[in-house]
Chains A and B, each alone.
Chain A
Amino acid sequence: MGAPKKAPARAVSDDPEDLASVPLQAVLLADSFATRFRPITLERPKVLLPLVNLPMIEYTLAWLESAGVEEVFLFCCAHAKQVISYLENSQWYAQPKFKVTTIESHNSVSAGDALRLIYERNVIHGDFVLISGDTLSNMSLMRALQEHKERKKKDSNAVMTMVIQRSKPSPITQQSRLGTDGLFMAIDPTTKQLLYYEENTNHLKGTLSIDKMLLVDNSSITLRNDIQDCYIDICSPEVLSLFTDNFDYQHLRRHFVKGLLVDDIMGYKIFTHEIHSSYAARVDNYRGYDTISKDIIQRWTYPLVPDVLSLGNSATNLERQGMYRAFEIGQSRSAQIGPHTVIGTNTTIGSNTKITNSVVGKNCAIGSNVLIEGSYVWDNVTIEDGCELRHAIVCDGVIMKSGSVLKPGVVLSFKVVIGQNFVVPPYSKVSLLKQPTKQDSDEELEYADNDSDTLDPAATRTMDKLNGDSSLEFSEMQDHVSSELGYGGAGYIWSICEGSHEEEWRHSVAPIPPEKVAEITQVIEDDLELVSQDSNAPASSGELKPDTQINAEDDAVYFEKEVEATFLRAVNENVEVDHVILEVNSLRLSYNMQAADCAGAIFHSMMKLALDATHSSQNELLRNVHETVNTWQKLLKSYLPGKDEEIEVILKFEEICLESVRELSPLFTQILHLLYEKDIITEEAIEDWESEKKDADEADRVFVKQAEIFLKWLREAEEDDEEDDE
């Protein structure tokens, strides 16, 4: 495989001097093949989105240049024209010793396609760096490259070195600080070989199954979940041919890396290189965008920081507390610009405006009494008086009319107009373009992969039309949607698709609201307790979390409480019985309970309800019970398909009488009778209950004794029946 490619690589590795003379090449994917940044990416490619007032690709290229890469093949697909025209106007084409070549494609839908195309072009001659245009780093490549080459010399199957960095995932949300899902790796501690790679460990609920051969084959193995994949790979040319041979490889990690790890016929190996003091991260979603922006402002990416890396003549000055201000700013005296804020050139800021933890781009006009908190305002934005922005992204050319409010997590795409005093609800995404119909979902299924779908042509066409900018159409649109974004507003609020609504808070720029955190904490508390009991070591120290054994008792208690809450709500809100049954059923499924448990829980709730109603005497209580049973017998019956469940109810009843509610115990027989009369409990169940209790000790037989008369009556009635039958 890849015979024509391999031969020169071998020849190179024979002579160390030759090795040094091969110019270092890089493949830069200027397309993330993802839709996380929609709707913004419908109009502008992700790599050109500003990150602290500079397009992301600028960081990537600056790093590649400083890391000693001499030739970059820039692969662009979506909005290729925009990327190319940007590069033509930038300094990068004019650099000596740094050649940027663009490769344009219109039908690539994934990183795999891109690499196959690059292989066809036959331009890569040695080891190369594979990176996407939304990655920024300040690491030195020398060490990693040297390690890679040395390994390659010893073992020609070592085709790739992956750069990783330590980063602890949040214990509550189980996602990394960049908003990506948990990542799990198994690495050989001595050779640094990657043995296992698993993304999205969240849904696995703390359990992870690893092929036991891993443990057999390797003398030692480190399992880590505090790793962040930097998406910087040093690859040998074989990687490209591998992509060509396996034409179904689409995603770099999900298909390629996992494919190589599983495939033991060819024996290709992947190694890792951990960086410690330098920084590397990829903007994967809005949360990552927020985090990386803040890292840049905090100078972790030094020297890729605003005051060093300013484009053109817009010099930026770093002031106290991480404030970056361009020189030409119109700022009112009473405006307060807080810490960790970046303000771009020619921006004017009105009086009494407060800006904290935010990035404001060039040529923005910000009125007075505006509040901007943790937001990203791009270029040429107009924000009129009295607006409020919290943790929002506002793209180029947006106009916010006076008094409008952006709630946390809002994304306003290009040129949207927000009407006067309009409040944009949290996590909504607003664009001038209509939301494309969900036609790409099939594609996602096809690859089992929501990261690799193309920009659908319909949207591109709309966008082209918009760029052609027929103002007539624009005004038409404005009239059309004025209702949706307030008076004079323009744009559509994208509806969030069903499945991802729950996940919206995970990937937005807004910090996770405290209620949400409390909620998750509540859910996982038991798990955590278990973990901390079992091992005092933190979960991130390379140990597997012990399997979360379902604590049956705890679960039962929770289940009972939930059922009771549901039941009480049903009583208070007059919910129909069928609906209650539905809800209880779903609870039963989620807690993995039996019908008997449901019946017990419901009966318990009913008795509680009866007790809670006001009563002054035994008789009144009995009447309460009577009423409750009358009303809800249908509910109870639906969980009593057989004798066993009925016995469970009786046992439960006993329990209730014994433990919590002493008032009920004198009424045991009467209520039992009542249940019998209502056909809730059959004779057989009662008899079985009695026989079950026969061997029990005296204390347990209290109620049997109490009910003796009733039982006797039952037996007699039965005999009568039998006699009658005869």
Chain B
Amino acid sequence: MPDVQALVNEFLFKLKNGEILKIEGSHATARQTAILLRSVISQQRIPHTHQAAALIDAVKAVGEQLVAANPVELAVGNIVRRVLHIIREEDLSLTTVAMAGLNVSPVSDDEGETDQDDHPVLSAAAVAAASRNTLRPPSLQTLLEDLPDSTAIPHTSSSGGDSDGKSKSADKSTRSRKLKHDVIEALNELIGDIDTCHEQIAEQAVEHIHQNEVILTLGSSRTVLEFLCAAKEKKRSFRVFIAEGAPRYQGHLLAKELVARGLQTTLITDSAVFAMISRVNMVIVGAHAVMANGGVIAPVGLNMVALAAQRHAVPFVVLAGSHKLCPLYPHNPEVLLNELRSPSELLDFGEFSDCMDFGSGTGSPLLHVVNPTFDYVPPKLVSLFITDTGGHNPSYVYRLIADYYSNDDLVLQRKPAPTN
């Protein structure tokens, strides 16, 4: 445990100083959070009763610190919530299996995708999927696929499962080990998902980018880079306009990368976007976070691009890995939507030092430089989200979120919330 605490502290420190964000972006942050939580779980001693609750408490305790360390980086909170969700699901699936053993009808009979027979060692994910179907109001997918509901299971929450499990004391020791094992398995899967999210998004590139199209993007995003390159590899020829993304000018870096991979690239200033948008077939951008309502938190300047795109009826496509899906709403007071960075990115301190001489006049600064990092793009301006699971409408985002997160985990920080 102590070494986990050290790990947590180190990560906290990095988060606080914004080191990771500066260097690697939210993708790496998400991945590191998942890895950290995995080690937290693997080192957590599990009591015989309420194992899931113990795990959840441990993860929540760490998660709370992580979120507090850098509330701007929503990916951290997302991953924490997803891990919590995984624990709940695994616990549920185990209970279901146990119930299945007890009851007569095994649930897994209906599962088409599992090749294994009804055996206690069922794939946890499959069972979780099944149990999810049973416990949740039917999702769009289940309605369409018309999976039969197994109504036999009366549980409404994981704790209920635990209380039922008490009767089976013999199974307990095996179950406790199994829960942890399953959770870690699922976490590995999650880390794998995060690792491959760029490729999975990029795979869909050919469906969206067509021959001789003009694509506009702003700033730099690794997802966008891979997406464009994937289309290029499939022998699509198209042109890219890059708005430079002042004041950090990451567009310059993207232009360099694209040219290195042989793409026809045009670099424009941010303010020229409106003038160029009429020649553009599609706007493809990355995001910092996708909120539950389908709104996007994205690098500053994107709202302007989105408005321009809407005016000229150009599709506005946002690429986002599933770790960027945030179950919170942008009007949630817990969400710190923006980060104000140093004014020195805008102007040279030495040049303006005489404007900031507080020794004369009223002593209050007359010059105030505001340098926000992010913009909020409302859902109505977004045409399509492309995540690792496919393309989605903004109005569908809340369903995606329901698949990844449980409602119980939405509030991570207990302190500021007055109700808890």
Contacts and interface: CB of A to CB of B under 8 A. Distances in A.
Interface of A: 62, 66, 91, 94-96, 138, 165-168, 170, 172-173, 175, 177, 179, 226, 228, 276-279, 287, 290-291, 294-295, 298-303, 308-309, 313, 315, 317-318, 321-322, 327, 339-340, 356-357, 374, 391, 510-512, 517
Contacts of B369: 298
Contact of B368 (A94, A279, A298, A512): A298
A473 to B, nearest CB: 38
Contacts of A309: 16
B359 A179 contact: yes
Given A177-B353, A276-B349, A66 B19 contact: yes
A560 to B, nearest CB: 32
B363 A298 contact: no
B340 interface: yes
Contacts of A166: 348-351, 353
Contacts of A301: 342
Given A168-B350, A226-B350, A287-B359, A298 B9 contact: no
A357 B364 contact: yes
B344 interface: yes
Contacts of B207: none
A511 B18 contact: no
A303 B14 CA distance: 12
Contacts of B356: 177, 291, 294-295, 298
Nearest to A290: B358
B68 interface: yes
B353 A340 contact: no
Contacts of B348: 166, 276-277
Nearest to B10: A96
Given A170-B359, A298-B368, 7 more contacts: A277-B345, A295-B356, A299-B340, A309-B16, A317-B336, A339-B368, A356-B364
A315 B340 CA distance: 16
Given A276-B349, A290-B363, A170 B357 contact: yes
Contact of B354 (A170, A179, A302): A170
A432 to B, nearest CB: 28
Interface of B: 6, 9-10, 13, 16-19, 68, 336, 340-345, 348-351, 353-354, 356-365, 368-369, 371, 415-416
Contact of B343 (A91, A300, A517): A300
Given A170-B357, A279-B342, A340 B364 contact: yes
19 contacts: A94-B9, A96-B10, A165-B349, A177-B359, A276-B350, A277-B348, A279-B344, A279-B349, A298-B368, A299-B341, A299-B343, A300-B349, A313-B68, A317-B336, A322-B368, A340-B368, A511-B361, A511-B362, A517-B360
Contacts of B18: 303, 308
Contacts of A391: 363
A173 B342 contact: no
Contacts of B349: 165-167, 276-277, 279, 300
A166 B10 CA distance: 35
Nearest to A278: B344
B416 A327 contact: yes
B17 A299 contact: no
Nearest to A303: B18
Nearest 9 CB-CB pairings of A with B: A166-B350, A511-B363, A302-B342, A167-B353, A168-B354, A177-B357, A277-B344, A357-B364, A374-B363
Nearest to B348: A276
Nearest to B363: A511
A183 B361 CA distance: 23
Contacts of A226: 350
Interface core residue of A91, A299, A357, A517 (most chain B CB under 10 Å): A299
A299 B371 contact: yes
A305 B206 CA distance: 45
A320 to B, nearest CB: 10
A308 B336 CA distance: 12
Contacts of B360: 170, 172-173, 511-512, 517
Given A177-B356, A277-B345, A318-B340, A303 B363 contact: no
A290 B356 CA distance: 11
Nearest to B342: A302
A287 to B, nearest CB: 6
A511 B358 contact: yes
Interface core residue of B336, B343, B350 (most chain A CB under 10 Å): B350
A295 B367 CA distance: 11
B16 to A, nearest CB: 7
Contacts of B415: 327
A339 B369 CA distance: 13
Contact of A291 (B13, B345, B358, B364): B358
A310 to B, nearest CB: 9
Interface core residue of B6, B17, B336 (most chain A CB under 10 Å): B17
B365 A300 contact: no
A166 to B, nearest CB: 3
